[in-house]
Structure 1
Amino acid sequence: MKKTVHFLLINLAIFSICSCQVPNDTSTSDHKSSSQYSDLVNLFERWRSFENPPLHDGAPDYRKATFELRHTKFRELQKELLAIDTSGWAIPEKVDWRIVWAEMNGYDFNDRVLRPWARDPAFYKSLWMERSDVPAHEGPTHHGTLEFWQYEFPLDETSKAKLLKELQAIPSLNKQAESNLTGNAKELWEAGIPTIATQVEDLKGLLLISEISNDPKLAEAVENAVNSTEGFVEWLIKESANKTGESGIGKENYTWYLQNVHLVPLTWEDEVMILKRELARAWSSLKLEEHQNRNLPPLAEANTAEDFEKLTENSIQKFMEFLKDQEILTVKDYFEPALREHRGSFIPKEKRNFFTIGMHIDPLPLYSHFYHWFELAIMDNEPHA
């Protein structure tokens, strides 16, 4: 699937050329390559076109029969990739070959193991009101998502037509989901229900936008999507009583996925060891900080909107000054606006969760984590060639 290979690959691929086995890697050979880089480019374009599934009643088609019908074509593309001789190619070109290889492995892994279209109701969430804090959505998503945050109002005719088409696809996809979801992953099923239920409320919220509610076609499409999603939620709740299986994929599958899709030369056991080590480091660091600050008064919560405004403003300025003054990185003029867009808002104490509790005491730890919004801003303002 299209989200399988993250941007992490770009950093890891060069290293993994030396650390993972590639079936056709003849880079140590002295003979001239019989394959051209243009062969890979051509294959990549055809591969990406194939990876985007066909439509069924206006929605991406994840039916079992469709996957079976397309399987032969996938194997042909995969075989064609493995037949490309990369000997004599420059390292960046070999990296590109490896990334296409990893993407195809990801498609194969989803088809054989993950199968989110059959096991995970959250896969069918269509409406996304806010931008994800990573380049692609976290977790499996289908190919026809409605990224509402990308629309600018008032809508031009092209945008209005696109929005209408995406809204009209939701009932079709929901109907398809009820046939496709044959898996028995209990925890995935239960976690997916509130995700789809949230879509109902988000869809209803669209009707509060006058440009949508005053447009007969858009309003009708939203209403149909609401009714369909409500019915989908009811079906999921009814079926949940029959779900008894595990959601995990097993250590062997996890290791294969790490090494062959994300190109991380580790195993499940390696990851567990690293996580235990980092958890121990985190606890040690926490206890050292607590001891160092043991004589200081406890931090005060911001329990009014005014106090929260002062707290976040001071934290933003302190964070940006730290990055600049300590020469942590070159601070771009669009960094601070990117951070301010996600500074948070005041929440009454009884409604705060883990993250917002901390934000109302000291936002700096969370703001340092928000470095990923800087990365997205870099992608928007200075995209890599």
Structure 2
Amino acid sequence: MTTSTYDQLQQLAQDFWTWRAANQPISSDDIPRIERPDDWVPDWSREAIARRRSELSEFAARHEAINAQSWPLSQQVDYRLIGSAIARVHWELNVTRGQERNPGFYVDQTLGLLFLSLLKPSPFTDGRSQAIVRYLQSFPATVANAKENLAGKAIRPFALAALEKLVAVKSRLTKVGTALGPFLSGVNSKEFNQSFTDAINALESFHDWLNGELDGMTEETAVGREAYIYFLKHVALM
């Protein structure tokens, strides 16, 4: 049997958390404030989702290949915690599948992303200002991916909740843009204004699309008993 070392686990952890920072979705549940890579924007295209699933399988295989049974207890705990983190991604990506079932997922990747970018107090440095514009410019692609991924799979109660968050989105975002503009630096005002216009148009389009799809959506929200058992055993470690 090949001997596994704690260094292998540490390398796996480093690789996984670097990957997670680039691939973790924005969430309104606990708003994890993680450092993202430079020039990062959300990407929930079908190609990106398939890539994430493949890379997740590789992390899971690396974790499973490590034999920690003879390690000190504290290191075994670390082994289980990394396993829990990997299982959490499986839960999100392959079990609850918010990117395919929950329209609110994409409200988080757009409005939630903008909200997070505004949480920190001033100053709005050049880099921070440019990131805000970049996030706004990502809205149209995110909404296009949302429509493609949710088609025929979205759940009606989740869609209704998302629609509530998109009520009067044009007037609300217009107020944000008007108030925010004077504080930004290092960005072209025309580009900034256009990014808000395009973001608003994308979200209004998403609102209208969801309304048009409601009648064909399922009401079933539960993922089932076996899925919850998986969560308790592998993610919550109970």
**Same fold flag (TM > 0.5):** yes
Whether 2:89 is the aligned partner of 1:89: answer no
| Cα offset, 1:45, TM superposition | 1.9
Give the drift of 1:208: 2.9
Q: Deviations over 1:54-79 (max 9, x none)?
A: 9xxx7433233443344343222211
Alignment of 1:1-385 (within 5 A): 34-51=3-20, 52-53=22-23, 59-125=41-107, 126-128=110-112, 146-182=115-151, 183-197=153-167, 199-209=169-179, 210-211=181-182, 215-263=189-237, 265=238
Measured in 2, the distance between the counterparts of 1:164 and 1:66 equals 22
- Matches of 2:137 and 2:116, distance apart in 1: 14
**Pairwise CA distance, 1:235:** 0.7
Contact 2:114 2:136 in 1 (8 A): no
Partners of 1:227 and 1:71 lie apart in 2 by: 31
Alpha-carbon contact 1:146-1:166 (below 8 Å) kept: no
CA deviations on 1:76-119 (whole Å, 9 max, x unpaired) are 22111111122343333222211110121122222322110111
Distance 1:38 1:77, change over 3 A: same
Question: Within 1, Cα distance between the matches of 2:116 and 2:90?
Answer: 27
Structure 1 unaligned segments of length 5 or more: list them. Answer: 1-32, 129-143, 266-385
Give SS of 2:216's match. coil
Shift of 1:197: 3.4
Give the letter for the 1:211 counterpart: P
Does structure 2 retain, via aligned residues, the 8 Å contact 1:186–1:240? yes
Post-superposition, which runs of at least 4 consecutive aligned residues in structure 1 deviate over 6 A?
A: none
- Superimposed CA distance per residue, residues 339-383 of structure 1 (whole angstroms, 9 cap, x where no aligned partner): xxxxxxxxxxxxxxxxxxxxxxxxxxxxxxxxxxxxxxxxxxxxx
CA distance in 2, matches of 1:200, 1:34: 59
Deviation at 1:199, TM superposition (A): 5.0
- Following the alignment from structure 2 to structure 1, what is the Cα–Cα distance between the partners of residues 6 and 221? 41
Return the letter of the residue paired with 2:8: D
- Partners of 1:184 and 1:162 in 2: how far apart? 30
Larger Rg: 1
Residues 102-137 of structure 1: per-residue CA shift (max 9 Å, x gap)? 121122222322110111011012224xxxxxxxxx
Structure with bigger helix share is 2
Q: RMSD of aligned C-alpha atoms?
A: 2.8
Give the TM-score taking structure 1 as reference length.
Answer: 0.50
Instruction: Please give the TM-score of this superposition, normalised by the length of structure 2.
Output: 0.78
Indicate the structure whose relative CO is greater, using CA pairs within 8 Å and at least 6 residues apart: 2
Counterparts in 2 of 1:64 and 1:169: CA distance versus 1, 3 Å = closer
Does the 8 A contact of 1:117 with 1:177 survive in 2? yes
Cα gap change, 1:114 to 1:201, in 2 (>3 Å): farther
Instruction: Kindly indicate whether the alpha-carbon contact (under 8 Å) linking 2:155 and 2:220 is maintained by their aligned counterparts in 1.
Output: yes
The gaps in structure 2 that reach 5 residues or longer are: 25-39
